[in-house]
Amino acid sequence: MCGIVGYTGPQSAITPLIEGLRRLEYRGYDSAGIALGTPDRLYIEKRAGKLVNLENALGESLPEVHSGIGHTRWATHGGPTDRNAHPHVDNEGKLAVIHNGIIENYTQLRADLESRGHRFDSDTDTESVAHLLSDLRKKHGGDLSAAMREAVASLRGSFTLLAIHADQPEVIVGVRRNSPLVVGLGVGENFMASDVAAFIDYTKRAVELGQDEVVTISPSGISITNLDGAPLQPKEYAITWDSSAAQKGGFNHFMLKEIFEQPKAVADTLLGRLNDRNQIVLDELHLTKEDIQGLKKIVVLACGTAFHAGMLAKYAIEKWAKISVEVELASEFRYRDPLIDSNTLVIAISQSGETMDTLMALRHAKASGARILAVCNTNSSTIPRESDAVLYTHAGPEIAVASTKAFLTQVIAVYLIGLHLAQLRGVMSDLEVKSVFDEMVELPGKIEQILETVEPLRELTRGFAQSTSVLFLGRNVGFPVALEGALKLKELAYMHAEGFAGGELKHGPIALIEEGTPVIAILPVGHEHGLDEKMLSNVQEVKARGAKVIVIAQEGAEVTGAEHVIRIPIAPAIFQPILATVPLQVFAYEMAVTRGNDVDQPRNLAKSVTVE
């Protein structure tokens, strides 16, 4: 959850550290702190609250330093207070540690360290690592890298750690286990961070780190070893987006900017995916025709918004490829006895590629013999690296905590997988696939149409700002859309919101309706199974009990009983979620703005959930 950054080089460390933390504040904003590499005793400053509190505390009279580490926190152990903010130091004030993740055996470590005379000043699990490293560094004759290797061998949990010592302030040591850490390679300077956004203004060269790899950086270079101390060869890659992608670009909030970036994100994810022989091109899947024909089922693993994309994967893959699909909450998957074997394809969906629940579920499935396909937006993150294949979406950086363009591109990605499977299994002809793909190519323009007409929706939303609850109804592919709309409203507006399958309304949820309750209904496309008529009956049922109804319907669809109708362009039913989701994103955004909430950094949430 937390954001971490380290810098060592010729320039003043304050600027890259503070700029890096500002870029990483989406990962956690309960508190922030820095440790500057001054000789004899480190300079430490940390404050509860957002980064601006730390900046105000730093003032003008800072030492001239050329290395340091910084942290922005999402609290796990210990409340968001000054004393619990990172960095944490040893009793000599010479060694500082910052940490993302959880140290599961910290209580035993703390008890042992306290019995040896160490004094603790915080309620965190992190501080135990600072004291442990202090002892081990002395044992290893001042070698902080060796101390880190021995320390990590005794730690349980998921974590990224960075450490610095006043005796060698230009040296920073880091390690990762089930938590993100990337190295930036500069000229005469080097960086470490939980996200490349922290140092993208300074370098486009990065190095990926594997599990339990210890990295040591100084201005002169980097070295990577395993826990036994054996040297490892860095795996360098290029960062393909620039700092302007992480700026608001004239929008009031990153979320609004990202909503308006969705036409391009969808178009980029579709780019080059159909060749001149009308075949879906997904070479990175590494699945042969024989592999695909041998599949007995597909299991989709995801959390939160990605889970809703997974629900839509089920509709598309079963419709097109005729393979059974199960959709599982990754956080629950491995706590039962799932039936997984070598004839199972597991699709793991994660925007960041670091979602801990999904990663652990993935590992469980892999150990059971399943093939793993990741759908991810972040190059070289953990989930793609541990998968057999990866399909990258092309949403670009998503800074706002509430996911928008990542969701739409995830849906596009799983739809491409469905078409690819259908084609290789011989269920759909090349011409049928081309016809469907051509419809997908029209989606960016249709999203653009919706965005060009959102001002009336924003005005309408402001009229519901004092509501205490909003209910969402959907059927078929509209049901995951209803769930996603409700989730966005919970995340941003801090209000009760629930999504229901329309057919379930009479089985309990209708009791929630009272005079003035806003209900948003996604009207199914077409007359197949009479679902549109059934949804309009649901509208009448809630209206008769005092609800104020907003219906999202395609152009030309007949709507009765609604106070407000939001029109979306005509598209086949399977693509309705791509279009219907956009007004719900705008509704949640505007509700949050009207209620005075922090849109980009909603309370209690962080962008990447890197702990279970």
Asked if the structure places residue 142 within a domain, the reply is yes
End residue of a domain, out of 196, 228, 244: 244
Asked if the structure places residue 608 within a domain, the reply is no
Percent of the chain with pLDDT over 70: 97
What integer pLDDT is reported at residue 61 of this predicted model?
73
Summarised one tens digit per residue, pLDDT across range 36-85 is 998 888 999 999 998 999 999 997 778 889 999 999 998 888 888 999 99
Summarised one tens digit per residue, pLDDT across range 79-103 is 889 999 999 999 999 999 999 888 9
Co-location of 382 and 519 in the same domain: no
Asked if the structure places residue 75 within a domain, the reply is yes
Asked if the structure places residue 604 within a domain, the reply is no
What integer pLDDT is reported at residue 291 of this predicted model?
82
Asked if the structure places residue 611 within a domain, the reply is no
Decide which of 166 and 528 is more confident: 166
Co-location of 394 and 494 in the same domain: no
Co-location of 410 and 477 in the same domain: no
Check 46, 314, 490, 607 and give the catalytic one.
Answer: 607
Output the domain CATH number for residue 341: 3.40.50.10490
pLDDT at residue 610 is higher than 70: no
Does the annotation count 2 as an active-site position? yes
Mean pLDDT of 549-571: 93
Q: Which residues have CB under 8 Å from 65's CB, separation 6+?
A: 12, 13, 14, 36, 37, 38, 43, 169
CA atoms within 13 A on the CB side of 343: 8
Residues 248, 257: Cα–Cα separation, whole Å: 6
Co-location of 428 and 519 in the same domain: no
Co-location of 545 and 564 in the same domain: yes
End residue of a domain, out of 420, 441, 462: 441
| CA-based torsion, 43, 46, 51, 56: positive or negative | negative
Residue 305 DSSP SS3:
helix
The vertex-360 CA angle with 33 and 162, nearest 5°, equals: 25
pLDDT at residue 387 is higher than 90: yes
Q: Tell me if 496 sits within 8 A of 469, measured CB to CB.
A: yes
Co-location of 258 and 228 in the same domain: no
- Work out the number of other CB atoms within 10 angstroms of the CB of residue 168: 16
Q: Count the domains in the chain.
A: 3
pLDDT at residue 570 is higher than 70: yes
What integer pLDDT is reported at residue 608 of this predicted model?
61
What integer pLDDT is reported at residue 572 of this predicted model?
95
Check 2, 94, 257, 376 and give the catalytic one.
Answer: 2
What integer pLDDT is reported at residue 283 of this predicted model?
77
Strand-strand pairing, 518-522 and 548-554? parallel
CA nearest 164: which of 177, 173, 155?
173
Q: Tell me if 420 sits within 8 A of 282, measured CB to CB.
A: yes
CA nearest 28: which of 486, 612, 610, 607?
607
Percentage helix, strand, coil for the chain under 3-state DSSP, each rounded to 5: 40, 25, 40
Asked if the structure places residue 553 within a domain, the reply is yes
- Average pLDDT of the chain is 92
Residue 327's pLDDT band (boundaries 50, 70, 90)?
Answer: very high
Output the domain CATH number for residue 93: 3.60.20.10
Asked if the structure places residue 601 within a domain, the reply is no
DSSP 523: P
Decide which of 534 and 288 is more confident: 534
Co-location of 132 and 199 in the same domain: yes
Summarised one tens digit per residue, pLDDT across range 337-367 is 899 999 999 999 999 898 999 999 999 999 9
- Work out the number of other CB atoms within 10 angstroms of the CB of residue 146: 19
Residue 576 host element (H or E): helix 576-594
What integer pLDDT is reported at residue 102 of this predicted model?
85
Co-location of 500 and 371 in the same domain: no
Co-location of 362 and 237 in the same domain: no
Q: What tokens appear for 551 in the block? A: 């219906």
Asked if the structure places residue 112 within a domain, the reply is yes
| Residue 256 structural domain | 248-441
What integer pLDDT is reported at residue 244 of this predicted model?
66
Summarised one tens digit per residue, pLDDT across range 229-271 is 999 999 898 887 777 666 666 678 999 989 999 998 999 899 8
Co-location of 376 and 514 in the same domain: no
DSSP alpha helix (H) spans, 368-429: 382-385, 405-424
Q: What tokens appear for 461 in the block? A: 């939303």
End residue of a domain, out of 388, 407, 441: 441
Decide which of 506 and 308 is more confident: 308
Co-location of 236 and 119 in the same domain: yes
220 burial level (CB within 10 Å; 0-12, 13-18, 19+):
exposed
Mean pLDDT of 539-560: 91
Through-space distance between the first and last CA atoms of the chain, rounded to whole angstroms: 10
Co-location of 419 and 282 in the same domain: yes
